[in-house]
Amino acid sequence: MAIQVRIPTILRTHTGGNKTVEGNGDTLAALVDDIDAQHPGIKGRLVTDEGKLHRFVNVYVNDEDVRFTGALDTAVKDGDSVTILPAVAGG
């Protein structure tokens, strides 16, 4: 088992066009490092030089926004589903 990560269209240049990739880690930060090792460059699109999530990137673990659960320190485990999406307007 691993953690499924759904990749938005604009970031698929880093994943060879794949919509989902798999990775491992105990925290979201570790998972992002693992994904970046397999798909170089993707971390730079998600995380700033200061080590924070980019302002216009939303990441959800099992549909919950990680900004309310510890951001990159959010715990993840095998079988979780991670979704990355750009911020969009509603209304």
By CB under 8 A, name the binding residues for other proteins.
8-11, 45, 54-58, 60, 63-65, 67-69, 83, 85-91
Nearer to other proteins by Cβ, of 2 and 85: the residue is 85
Nearer to other proteins by Cβ, of 29 and 83: the residue is 83
Report the C-alpha gap between 32 and 58 in whole angstroms.
14
Provide the minimum distance between the beta carbon of 67 and other proteins in the complex, in angstroms, as a whole number. Answer: 6
Residue 81's H or E segment, with its range, is: strand 81-86
Report the C-alpha gap between 26 and 30 in whole angstroms.
6
